């Protein structure tokens, strides 16, 4: 049933062949087509700009006050590309291989190969846009090794790579707004997808300033609305990141793939208290020079600088001699949890040290400041501790979601005309994403894939011709209005945050860094109870027809309450460990994730079956023609 | 008072909409842990208001790690509060003393109308960028990335300017509500790089005109913008922008 539309032919030729086989839209006809883009992160902005450059009429929506603020902006470390500028053995094939392996063999080969292939063009394009990447004294681009890679293929702009790439894409979008081909609708939140005649033809949005509901029609819809990490309440995501847009599409028929595959980032500032609103990530580029350790003595209360060398347990270096502190994210996170569970964490708690003492001695403080100055400053601002003088403390936190709406090779969902890009789709990172690959994927999808596949879709299906008074439009508007009215009428006693935190803690506990059958079953029992309390006892002050930030949050949390159940169900059904999904029942003797390729080398894609029915689980088998799945080893 | 906590009096600007009159309301922020951020302190106050069924204080925020540029308010007369090179979300309560009174108001400027409470409309910044804050390259046209070397010091200067997060604190701090620092940051970023050169002349003229059109004031070199910029963008960028502008007047390339 699920046809991924992977082109025939040898892996390196698939994308070229596909590009040739795709139908084109005549340049003078493109302006007759309207494309809606939801989201203005790297994927959404790059898609909007590029589709507009081609001549399509683009309408772009974002929930921030300007498209420049989407959470791609917070990516620190860098962007991978197989340029092999360092002559250290990199190639398109190696980036492809590393990504497949890093994803623990749960991604689609053809998509990943295409991603690696496109990576080189992204750097060319961003440099041409004026993105100020780091350079060497000879004037050429600098690279660093990043998060588990043995080659230096990461391009970066200090610790602000996401910001610079996003501002590049934002600039390109502003250029198209100026040219009249793109129009941006800020402070709009997507409330529903309009499906008519079996295809996606528009969206309903809420104007967040006036509260008005608006229907916008188009010939196709591109969803680039990011990931769902905030389902855990505390995460490194921006506060407005949500699953609502994707969830509405799911309820309209788009399959949701692998929702249980979430990534826990190893280097975040530890949780400090109940009142915390979000977690802050410290770029994992810090692991290039920082050494991770804990005291060998459980519950050690000494100041870290007073713990002698012999009593320091550099657990990653000892356990994984060839990768050391640079093991992939899932491995680093799990090991941090293990040492802390064993009581070895900082002062017995949930934190480990990330220490720059040796790097500062070796290279000098000035060099370290040049490399990581802004990250060190940020750490000091948040914690009040100077990392030049004593080690940072870090702990894993939810950071990225590999799962997302199911898409085929064309990045189209199971609803014709609904394309899904960036973190919102599921395709390229399998069960674990490598560092510096999210930016690469977002931009590959937006700049270099959607312009082709969108053209093919429009050329083969023609215009949508849905009228504003169509029953599907009215129905979508009404269902949004009914939901809002229902929320506003509860007027209970609980705050939205309180309910969200309760859900998040439950998920972190039962469906976080480690999962097991019993816990997941308990979560499945508890989630409906929390949801019921939410719908009966939450309080949203203010009115609908105004700027109402509590209502905005309530709508997102309401969707998280439903989505959480699907995530847990997916985690329960995936009876194996892979990447970020660690099922305690399935581990090797030395505690590593144990995959079950015989039964689970597939994508699980969930189909909505109505509010009171269990969703249906479909399977897309993953066929590995090029790479032979093996037990990942970073020893 | 519990250890590591402080209590404060807040005088917060409340305004229902752009055409409504605004006023200061007084709130108590009790037992605020000093290791939380300023926005988390506002969360606590809002939590109390929500529980009482009252309208919480509206403020823009998103990443809460000092990079998205959403947040910002004037605290005791200073945009983003007392700590240098810090956005409001990265300002922590350890910067304040127990018993202090904080006056919190939106970024004020004619070009930044108030949307609600501390939320202002900064879309004028988007329109300045639309006028020319980019390189007009289409996807697919780019040459090989390393075909044009860029001296490191120029790339570094471009990056210094490119760090602007578009928060608008510079405008709020300026007695003339000038957007010169914001505009100059983009112009200088692109002027430093060979990729930006073909459009250099057109860009500076168009962006400066857009800035004037939006109702921002002129720069009179008060240096207030630099003092509050969370990314420490320097006033020398404005000098360079003015030089670019003069250059554009005498050249037609």
What pLDDT does B252 receive? Answer: 65
Cα separation, A203 vs A38, in Å, equals 9
Which one of B40, B146, B150 has the shortest CB-CB distance to A276?
B40
Q: Rounded mean pLDDT of B224-232?
A: 98
Q: State the CB neighbour count (10 A cutoff) for residue B198.
A: 13
Q: Rounded mean pLDDT of A10-21?
A: 97
Please enumerate in sequence order all residues whose Cβ is within 8 A of that of A517, keeping only pairs 6 or more positions apart, or say none: A572, A583, A585
The answer to whether the Cβ–Cβ distance between A160 and B56 falls below 8 Å is no
pLDDT above 90: residue A591: no
pLDDT above 50: residue A494: yes
* A72-84: pLDDT as tens digits: 999 988 999 999 9
* B61-93: pLDDT as tens digits: 999 999 999 999 999 999 999 999 999 999 999
Q: State the CB neighbour count (10 A cutoff) for residue A505.
A: 14
A483: part of which helix (H) or strand (E)?
helix A471-490
Residue A329 annotated to the active site: yes
B238: helix, strand or coil:
helix
* A97-142: pLDDT as tens digits: 999 999 999 999 999 999 999 999 999 999 999 999 999 999 999 9
Which one of B65, B130, B152 has the shortest CB-CB distance to A137?
B152
Chain B residues inside the 8 Å CB shell of A163: 67, 163, 165
Q: C-alpha angle with apex A42: A271 to A72, nearest 5 degrees?
A: 15
Contact call for residues B65 and B90 (beta carbons, < 8 A): yes
Q: What is the rounded average pLDDT for all residues in chain A?
A: 96
What pLDDT does B193 receive? Answer: 98
What pLDDT does A276 receive? Answer: 84
The answer to whether the Cβ–Cβ distance between A451 and B126 falls below 8 Å is no
* B140-183: pLDDT as tens digits: 999 999 999 999 999 999 999 999 999 999 999 999 999 999 99
Smallest CA–CA distance from B48 into chain A, residue: A495
* B44-65: pLDDT as tens digits: 999 999 999 999 999 999 999 9
Tokens (6 digits) for B8: 């404060």
Residue % of chain A over a pLDDT of 70 = 100
Burial grade of A6 (CB within 10 A; 0-12, 13-18, 19 or more): middle
What pLDDT does A374 receive? Answer: 82
Chain B residues inside the 8 Å CB shell of A127: 142, 145, 148, 195
DSSP H stretches of helix in A129-271:
161-178, 244-251
- What is the bridge-based pairing of β-strands A57-61 and A182-185? parallel
Smallest CA–CA distance from B157 into chain A, residue: A132
pLDDT above 70: residue B2: no
Q: Rounded mean pLDDT of A571-599?
A: 94
Residue A505: closest CA among A537, A536, A525, A530: A530
Tokens (6 digits) for A53: 């450059």
Tokens (6 digits) for A584: 């305690």
* A378-390: pLDDT as tens digits: 899 999 999 999 9
Q: Which ipTM did the prediction report?
A: 0.98
Contact call for residues B47 and B30 (beta carbons, < 8 A): no
Please enumerate in sequence order all residues whose Cβ is within 8 A of that of B20, keeping only pairs 6 or more positions apart, or say none: none
State chain A's maximal CA–CA distance in angstroms: 75
What pLDDT does B3 receive? Answer: 66
**What sign results for the dihedral spanned by CA atoms A248, A249, A252, A254?**
negative
pLDDT above 90: residue B235: yes
Please enumerate in sequence order all residues whose Cβ is within 8 A of that of A556, keeping only pairs 6 or more positions apart, or say none: A230, A240, A242, A243, A244
Give the minimum alpha-carbon distance from A476 to chain B in angstroms, rounded to a whole number.
28
CA A388 to chain centre: 31
A-B CB pairs within 8 A amount to 223
Please enumerate in sequence order all residues whose Cβ is within 8 A of that of A486, keeping only pairs 6 or more positions apart, or say none: A535
**What sign results for the dihedral spanned by CA atoms A80, A81, A82, A83?**
negative
Residues in chain B, total? 253
pLDDT above 80: residue A147: no
Please enumerate in sequence order all residues whose Cβ is within 8 A of that of A590, keeping only pairs 6 or more positions apart, or say none: none
Cα separation, A558 vs A507, in Å, equals 15
Strands of the A34-38 sheet, one edge to the other: A182-185, A57-61, A34-38, A220-223, A418-420
Chain B residues inside the 8 Å CB shell of A550: 50, 56
**What's the per-residue H, E or C state across B102-157?**
EEEECCCCCCCCEEECCEECCHHHHHHHHCCCCCCCCCCCCCCHHHCCCCHHHHHH
The answer to whether the Cβ–Cβ distance between B122 and A71 falls below 8 Å is no
What pLDDT does A150 receive? Answer: 85
Residue % of chain A over a pLDDT of 90 = 91
Residue that is written with structure tokens 């998205």 in the block: B68
A607: part of which helix (H) or strand (E)?
strand A602-607
Which one of B44, B53, B196 has the shortest CB-CB distance to A130?
B196
What pLDDT does A159 receive? Answer: 85
Chain B residues inside the 8 Å CB shell of A539: 50-51, 53
Whether A249 contacts chain B with CB within 8 A: no
Catalytic residue among A329, A553, A556, A583: A329
The answer to whether the Cβ–Cβ distance between A240 and B94 falls below 8 Å is no
Give the minimum alpha-carbon distance from B154 to chain A in angstroms, rounded to a whole number.
9
Which one of B86, B90, B193 has the shortest CB-CB distance to A130?
B193
* B4-42: pLDDT as tens digits: 999 999 999 999 999 999 999 999 999 999 999 999 999
Contact call for residues B125 and A66 (beta carbons, < 8 A): yes
The answer to whether the Cβ–Cβ distance between A132 and B189 falls below 8 Å is yes
pLDDT above 80: residue B106: yes
B30: part of which helix (H) or strand (E)?
strand B22-33
A239: helix, strand or coil:
coil
The lowest-confidence range among A321-330, A600-609, A618-627 is A321-330
What pLDDT does B1 receive? Answer: 46
Residue A521: left (phi > 0), alpha (psi -120 to 50), or beta? Answer: alpha
- What is the bridge-based pairing of β-strands A220-223 and A34-38? parallel
A67: helix, strand or coil:
helix
Phi, psi angle pair for A281, to nearest 5°: -90, 140
């Amino acid at each position: 049933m699920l046809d991924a539309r992977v082109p025939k032919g040898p892996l390196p030729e698939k994308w070229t062949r596909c590009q040739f086989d795709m139908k084109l839209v005549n340049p003078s006809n493109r302006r007759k087509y309207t494309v809606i883009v939801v989201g203005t992160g790297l994927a959404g902005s790059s898609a909007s700009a590029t589709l507009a450059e081609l001549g399509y009429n683009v309408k772009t929506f974002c929930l921030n006050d300007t498209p420049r603020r989407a959470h791609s902006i917070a990516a620190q470390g860098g962007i991978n590309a197989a340029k092999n500028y360092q002559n250290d053995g990199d190639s398109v094939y190696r980036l492809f291989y590393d990504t497949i392996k890093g994803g623990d063999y749960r991604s689609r080969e053809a998509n990943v190969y295409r991603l690696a292939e496109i990576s080189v063009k992204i750097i060319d394009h961003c440099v041409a846009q004026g993105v100020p990447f780091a350079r060497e004294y000879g004037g050429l681009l600098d690279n660093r090794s990043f998060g588990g890679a043995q080659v230096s293929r990461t391009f970066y702009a200090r610790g602000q790579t996401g910001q610079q790439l996003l501002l590049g894409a934002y600039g390109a979008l502003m250029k198209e707004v100026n040219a009249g081909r793109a129009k941006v609708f800020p402070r709009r939140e997507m409330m529903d997808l309009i499906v008519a005649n079996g295809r996606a033809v528009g969206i309903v949005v809420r104007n967040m300033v006036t509260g008005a509901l608006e229907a916008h029609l188009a010939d196709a819809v591109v969803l680039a609305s990011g990931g769902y990490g905030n389902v855990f309440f505390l995460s490194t995501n921006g506060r407005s990141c949500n699953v609502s847009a994707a969830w509405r599409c799911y309820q309209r028929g788009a399959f949701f793939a692998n929702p249980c595959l979430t990534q826990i980032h190893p280097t975040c500032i530890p949780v400090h208290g109940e009142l915390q609103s979000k977690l802050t990530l410290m770029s994992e580029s810090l692991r290039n020079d920082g050494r991770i350790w804990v005291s060998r003595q459980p519950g050690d209360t000494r100041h870290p600088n007073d713990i002698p060398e012999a009593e320091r347990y550099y657990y990653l270096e000892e356990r994984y001699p060839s990768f050391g502190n640079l093991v992939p994210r899932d491995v680093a996170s799990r090991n941090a949890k293990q040492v802390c569970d064993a009581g070895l964490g900082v002062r017995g708690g949930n934190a480990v040290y990330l220490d720059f003492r040796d790097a500062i001695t070796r290279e000098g403080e000035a060099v370290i400041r040049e490399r990581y100055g802004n990250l060190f400053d940020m750490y000091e601002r948040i914690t009040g501790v100077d990392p030049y003088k004593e080690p940072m403390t870090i702990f894993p936190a939810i950071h990225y979601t590999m799962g997302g709406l199911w898409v085929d090779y064309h990045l189209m969902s199971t609803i014709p005309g609904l394309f899904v890009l960036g973190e919102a789709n599921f395709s390229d990172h399998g069960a674990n994403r490598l560092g510096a690959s999210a930016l690469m994927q977002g931009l590959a999808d937006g700049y270099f894939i959607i312009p082709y596949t969108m053209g093919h879709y429009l050329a083969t299906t023609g215009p949508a011709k849905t009228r504003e008074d169509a029953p599907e439009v009215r129905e979508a508007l009404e269902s949004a209005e009914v939901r809002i009215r229902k929320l506003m009428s509860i007027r209970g006693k609980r705050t939205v945050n309180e309910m969200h935190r309760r859900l998040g803690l439950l998920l972190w506990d039962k469906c976080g860094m480690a999962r097991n059958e019993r816990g997941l079953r308990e979560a499945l029992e508890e989630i409906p109870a929390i949801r019921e309390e939410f719908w009966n006892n939450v309080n949203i002050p203010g009115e609908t027809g105004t700027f109402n930030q509590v209502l905005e949050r309530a709508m997102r949390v309401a969707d998280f309450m439903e989505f959480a159940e699907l995530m847990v169900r997916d985690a329960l059904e995936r009876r194996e460990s892979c990447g970020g999904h660690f099922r305690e029942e399935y581990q090797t003797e030395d505690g590593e994730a144990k995959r079950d390729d015989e039964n689970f080398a597939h994508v699980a894609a969930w189909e909505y079956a109505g509010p009171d029915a269990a969703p249906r689980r479909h399977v897309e088998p993953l066929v590995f023609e090029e790479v032979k799945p093996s037990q990942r080893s970073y020893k | 008072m519990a250890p590591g906590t402080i209590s404060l009096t807040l005088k917060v600007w409340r305004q229902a909409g752009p055409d409504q009159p605004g006023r200061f309301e007084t709130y108590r922020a009790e037992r605020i842990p000093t290791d939380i951020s300023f926005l988390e302190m506002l969360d606590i106050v809002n939590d109390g208001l929500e529980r009482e069924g009252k309208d919480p204080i509206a403020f823009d925020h998103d990443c809460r790690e000092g990079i998205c540029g959403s947040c910002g308010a004037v605290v005791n007369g200073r945009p983003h509060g007392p700590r240098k090179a810090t956005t409001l979300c990265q300002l922590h309560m350890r910067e304040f003393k127990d018993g202090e009174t904080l006056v919190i108001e939106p970024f004020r400027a004619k070009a930044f109308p108030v949307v609600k409470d501390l939320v202002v409309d900064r879309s004028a910044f988007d329109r300045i960028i639309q006028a020319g804050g980019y390189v007009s390259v289409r996807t697919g046209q780019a040459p090989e990335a390393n075909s044009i070397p860029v001296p490191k010091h120029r790339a570094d200067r471009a990056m210094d300017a490119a760090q602007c997060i578009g928060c608008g604190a510079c405008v709020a701090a300026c007695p003339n509500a000038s957007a010169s620092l914001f505009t100059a940051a983009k112009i200088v970023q692109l002027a430093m790089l060979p990729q930006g050169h073909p459009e250099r002349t057109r860009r500076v003229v168009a962006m400066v005109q857009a800035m004037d059109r939006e109702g921002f004031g002129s720069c009179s070199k008060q240096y207030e913008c630099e003092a509050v910029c969370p990314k420490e963008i320097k006033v020398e960028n404005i000098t360079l922008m003015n030089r670019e502008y003069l250059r554009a007047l005498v050249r037609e390339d």
